[in-house]
Amino acid sequence: MTGEDVPRARVRRKRSWALHVFWIVPIVAAAVAGWLIVQKLRAYGPEIAIEFRDGSGLRPGQTPVKFRGVYIGEVSRIELAEDHKHVFVYARL
């Protein structure tokens, strides 16, 4: 048997468009997630610092900040001053 008698296989290279379409879903999902994160960050207002002599009853993430009876923000963190005589309350509006 000679080398010419052996049949040769034909290789067809076919590009799969389904593989490329598969990548559209994660790209769209990442874009939507990025847009939602940006919108959430834009919704936050500024953080202000308020100095009190006594910070009893204040809880970060639970105590609301009201102005003339209208909810305008929430206490985000509380820090004791260096002189230990008053506290700094940080609120996100």
Span 37-54, pLDDT tens digits: 999 888 878 889 999 998
Measured between alpha carbons, how far is 67 from 74 in angstroms, rounded to an integer? 12
Q: Which domain holds residue 84?
A: 17-92
Measured between alpha carbons, how far is 2 from 44 in angstroms, rounded to an integer? 79
Low pLDDT (below 70) residues in the chain: 1-4, 15-19
On whether the CB atoms of residues 89 and 49 are closer than 8 A, the answer is: yes
What pTM value is reported for the model? 0.55
At residue 17, the pLDDT reads 66
For the chain, the maximum distance between any two Cα atoms, rounded to a whole number of angstroms, is 102
User: Hey, is 72 helix, strand or coil?
Assistant: strand
At residue 32, the pLDDT reads 97
The number of domains in the chain is 1
Looking at the domain assignment, is residue 3 inside a domain?
no
Looking at the domain assignment, is residue 11 inside a domain?
no
At residue 51, the pLDDT reads 92
